[in-house]
Amino acid sequence: MSEHLIVRIVSKMLIPFILLFALYVQMHGDYGPGGGFQAGVIFATAFIIYAIVFGVKRTIRVLPLTVVTAMVSLGLILYAMVGFVSLAAGGTFLDYGALDSHDPVHGQHLGIIIIELGVGITVAGVLTAVFYTFAERWQK
């Protein structure tokens, strides 16, 4: 854990806003700049800051290793599943218009939001997992 008081307090204050900003970028990717990839990176950064300032042990209590490793594959599965669902709904692979039989535009919007979520989950998981792999060696 860092002994620097200012670093501790400032990061404690900023981390909730970083997480909130990540969620904003995630959900607002279709209106403004950003999207799943950027949101995932910001999300991971918040946890990495927490790990650097407060220690890896405490971070693992918040975001356990099993959750991180599950996130790595969960996002990709979510993305691919959207493709298979649209396939089952009568469209082509990843044709989101088929997701809503009444309004293809609505289906497109739904598909984009879900696949962006998949991208975000995988990116956040991979980056946190890579950081955790490094951080394990700090323990000694």
What residues from 111 to 140 belong to the interface with other proteins (CB under 8 A)?
Answer: 111-112, 115-116, 118-119, 122-123, 125-127, 129-138
- Answer yes or no whether residue 99 interacts with other proteins by CB under 8 A: no
Q: Which of 15, 11, 30 has its CA nearest to residue 106?
A: 30
Among residues 69, 70, 87, 89, which is the contact residue for other proteins, using CB under 8 A? 69
- Answer yes or no whether residue 98 interacts with other proteins by CB under 8 A: no
Shortest distance in whole angstroms from residue 91 CB to other proteins:
12
- Encoded amino acid at 85, one letter: V
What residues from 72 to 91 belong to the interface with other proteins (CB under 8 A)?
Answer: 72-73, 75-76, 79-80, 83
Query: Rounded CA gap, 90 and 73, in Å?
Result: 26
Rg (CA), the chain: 18
- Encoded amino acid at 76, one letter: L
Which residues, in sequence order, are CB contacts of 95 under 8 Å at separation 6+? 86
- Answer yes or no whether residue 35 interacts with other proteins by CB under 8 A: yes
